């Protein structure tokens, strides 16, 4: 009996030791900063007085940081603009990307010679790091010195303003974002491979058309992945920042590419408390969107056993 208890305790200790790195990691690098940011969002913290002694350097101002976003003109203007930009991008880009990459995966899932090579090549553009991609696109889309406008002109099209005008910035940004289609395609392909061939066999024997197979077999069986990809895309798109900074150095012409994270980064030194409040707003928005997606996910098919 005692021997068993000792073994149990030993087992418990060993188990905890194995997962110790991640427990520490989560505590130090995720939970501690999140809690700290939450506390700071209620303080007015003057320029560069970063400290843990909030009482000494910061002033407790309650919900004022959150209120500022909606009431104080300059803050409201920035915040609403960032919401507008982020949501415009999300509403257009996410469905566009999901549908296009899914269609591409369907195409590449077919048994045609050389498909593996196509998959590999189509994934290649995803290897370009954000920094290089930003540099590259800002160069390619340069209205005067860029390759694309030159190409347009040589085939008789007018010059496109790309990122030099507010009205064309968002369409241009969505356009260049689509070049990462290969990454999403790979995720879909993995799911498509999990659809058992036998289901198609019997459907074919029953004389189901290709379209019916797609809508009644492939898509329903892929719904868990559709849900997963949607949620992951929302989380990622809401945090868009690096792509824009490396492209334009800021938030684009007339804040046309000023995302929510731009606000957080822009205020992080001078208005640390406000930046924390902004990041919590973003957290709430992401959490709400995720929740809504999950709650409305009755269409997801989790197999026979439920």
Q: Is 111 an interacting residue with respect to other proteins (CB under 8 A)?
A: yes
Instruction: Give the residue among 120, 221, 134, 238 at the shortest CA–CA distance from 177.
Output: 134
In the region spanning residues 60 to 99, those forming contacts with other proteins, defined by CB under 8 A, are none
Q: Which residue from 6, 33, 95, 293 is in contact with other proteins, where contact means CB under 8 A?
A: 33
How many Cα atoms within 13 Å fall on the side-chain side of residue 250?
A: 7
Q: Is 290 an interacting residue with respect to other proteins (CB under 8 A)?
A: yes
Instruction: Give the residue among 251, 253, 263 at the shortest CA–CA distance from 75.
Output: 263
Q: Is 187 an interacting residue with respect to other proteins (CB under 8 A)?
A: yes
Q: Is 221 an interacting residue with respect to other proteins (CB under 8 A)?
A: no
How many residues sit in the footprint of other proteins (CB under 8 A)? 106
- Of 69 and 238, nearer to other proteins (C-beta) is 238
Q: Is 58 an interacting residue with respect to other proteins (CB under 8 A)?
A: no
Q: Is 53 an interacting residue with respect to other proteins (CB under 8 A)?
A: no
Q: How far apart are CA 14 and CA 224, in angstroms?
A: 35
> Which token pair is 100?
């296009």
Per the CB < 8 A criterion, the answer to whether 106 and 218 are in contact is: yes
Strand partners, 60: 43
Q: Is 282 an interacting residue with respect to other proteins (CB under 8 A)?
A: yes
Stretch that binds other proteins, among 57-65, 73-81, 84-92, 184-192 (CB under 8 A): 184-192
Q: Which residue from 2, 3, 5, 197 is in contact with other proteins, where contact means CB under 8 A?
A: 197
Q: Is 228 an interacting residue with respect to other proteins (CB under 8 A)?
A: yes
Stretch that binds other proteins, among 64-72, 88-96, 182-190, 211-219 (CB under 8 A): 182-190
How does DSSP assign 240-277, residue by residue? --HHHHHHHSSS-GGGTT--HHHHHHHHTTT-HHHHHH
Stretch that binds other proteins, among 62-70, 75-83, 84-92, 270-278 (CB under 8 A): 270-278
In the region spanning residues 112 to 171, those forming contacts with other proteins, defined by CB under 8 A, are 112, 116, 118-125, 127-140, 142, 144-147, 149-150
How large is the greatest C-alpha to C-alpha distance in the chain, in angstroms? 89
In the region spanning residues 234 to 253, those forming contacts with other proteins, defined by CB under 8 A, are 235, 238-239, 241-242, 245-250
Per the CB < 8 A criterion, the answer to whether 251 and 163 are in contact is: no
Q: Which residue has the tokens 């868009």?
A: 240
Instruction: Give the residue among 175, 130, 183, 170 at the shortest CA–CA distance from 251.
Output: 170
Q: Is 294 an interacting residue with respect to other proteins (CB under 8 A)?
A: no
């Amino acid at each position: 009996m005692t021997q068993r208890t000792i073994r149990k305790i030993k087992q418990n200790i060993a188990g905890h030791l194995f997962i110790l790195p991640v427990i520490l990691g989560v505590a130090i690098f995720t939970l501690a900063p999140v809690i700290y940011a939450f506390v700071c969002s209620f303080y007015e913290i003057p320029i560069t007085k970063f400290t843990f002694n909030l009482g000494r350097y910061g002033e407790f101002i309650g919900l004022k940081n959150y209120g500022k976003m909606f009431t104080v003109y300059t803050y409201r203007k920035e915040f609403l603009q960032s919401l507008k930009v982020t949501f415009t991008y999300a509403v257009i880009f996410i469905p566009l990307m999901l549908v296009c990459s899914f269609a591409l995966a369907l195409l590449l899932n077919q048994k045609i010679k050389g498909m593996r090579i196509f998959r590999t090549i189509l994934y290649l553009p995803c290897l370009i790091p954000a920094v290089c991609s930003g540099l590259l696109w800002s160069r390619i889309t340069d209205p005067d010195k860029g390759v694309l406008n030159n190409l347009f002109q040589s085939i008789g099209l007018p010059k496109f303003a790309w990122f030099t005008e507010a009205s064309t910035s968002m369409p241009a940004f969505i356009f260049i974002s689509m070049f990462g289609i290969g990454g999403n395609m790979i995720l879909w392909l993995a799911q498509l491979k999990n659809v058992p061939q036998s289901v198609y066999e019997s459907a074919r024997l029953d004389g189901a058309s290709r379209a019916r197979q797609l809508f009644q077999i492939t898509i329903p069986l892929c719904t868990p992945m559709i849900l997963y990809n949607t949620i992951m895309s929302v989380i990622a798109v809401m945090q868009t920042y690096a792509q824009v900074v490396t492209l334009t150095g800021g938030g684009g012409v007339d804040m046309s590419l000023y995302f929510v994270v731009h606000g957080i980064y822009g205020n992080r030194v001078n208005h640390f408390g406000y930046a924390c409040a902004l990041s919590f707003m973003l957290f709430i928005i992401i959490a709400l969107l995720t929740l809504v997606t999950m709650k409305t996910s009755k269409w997801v098919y989790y197999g026979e056993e439920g």
